[in-house]
Amino acid sequence: MTDSATTDAAAFEAAFKGVFGRAPEGAWAAPGRVNLIGEHTDYNDGLAMPFALPHVTRAAVARRDDGLLRLHSADMDDGTVELAVADLAPGTTPGWVRYPAAVLWSLRQAGHDIGGADLLYDSTVPVGGGLSSSAALQVVTALALTELHGVRDVSRQDLALLCQSSENTYVGAPVGVMDQTASACCTDGHALYLDVRGLGQRQVPLDLDAAGLAMVAVDTRVKHAHADGAYGERRAGCEAAAAALGLPALRDVPFDGLADALAALPDDRLRRLTRHVVTENRRVEDVLALCDAGRVREIGPVLTAGHVSLRDDFQVSCPELDVVVDTALAAGALGARMTGGGFGGSAIVLLEAGDLDRVTDAVAAALPQSRHFTISPSAGARRLW
């Protein structure tokens, strides 16, 4: 993570000119996200409640008419990467540039007449922290390219779906749509209640300051990758469990019918996966009800229960995440859980605002490699200038 995304517009424009030798046509930003509750439910047609971070990926962009896509990141050491738009295809693009390349390829596959471009990126979203740096990169690219080319028939949810499809097909990561939807659709001061099956959304007010609360994201600095086998194995296991139950998705297992569903499954692995998804959907509903009632302080134990389920049933936590959660709770936090796909990344901690220093000091002492930052529900993707 750098501080480059906090620099002013003039400096960002000057940086673009320094790389590409001309002025950009505009600049856009898209945030990372944390998931308050509802983990590994999106690809099970379930429920989630993410919110956008104040940390963003920015893109300064100008169109080209020569069929070239030129990409440069202020946070990478690989210089400017040049690709031929006509040659873009799944499996042909290495490294970080495959994410914006995937977006352009998907827009063209969807019939949008979008050609080459110069794009300069910078970001304050921690890479590999489980905070959706890849979704922010995709969404800012999609928003910039569609707005520059006058594409007006694509909604924010459509953009999110296109970015998900590009990551599934071009990058090869079997992710759900929650991360991209959060980056594209969240609003300032709200969590986003998302019903993935129908893509229904509701902005849920979440004013932590008014409640005397704070939330901290703790990046363990343990890296993860959604394209690896562990994430795909969980998704395939959920699909196998739904098929064994004769259901379209684990979303269709009612909470009151969970015991019967578990008894009908052939092995413990599928039972654990199913139990997590069904109980996690219920936890989303519980958090929504508490937020609607203005009882935000009471969501802490629900968050912690979600971590226990992710750790024990879904088995996507890691020792470092468990240290953060256990240490924060022992120091007086109201609740804590891992956030994101797992296998590393970050945890979120809900606490009384007055306990911030005590809790974060305890976590830093227990896991010195970690870094933390205070977070609050922030705005989704937007044009900057």
Rounded CA separation 371/159 (Å): 32
Q: Is the pLDDT of residue 352 over 60?
A: yes
pLDDT value for 299: 98
Q: Is 172 helix (H, G, I), strand (E, B) or coil?
A: coil
pLDDT value for 2: 42
pLDDT value for 5: 47
Rounded CA separation 106/112 (Å): 9
Mean pLDDT of the chain: 94
Six-digit token pair at 237?
Answer: 């296991």
Nearest in space to 144 (alpha carbons), one of 66, 67, 58: 58
Higher pLDDT, 2 or 56: 56
pLDDT value for 126: 84
pLDDT digits (tens, 9 = 90+) for 81-106: 999 999 999 999 989 999 999 999 99
Among candidate residues 42, 45, 122, 179, the one labeled active-site is 179
Rounded CA separation 134/225 (Å): 10
Query: Which domains does the chain possess?
Result: 4-204+379-383 (3.30.230.10), 207-375 (3.30.70.890)
Reply yes or no on whether 207 is catalytic: no
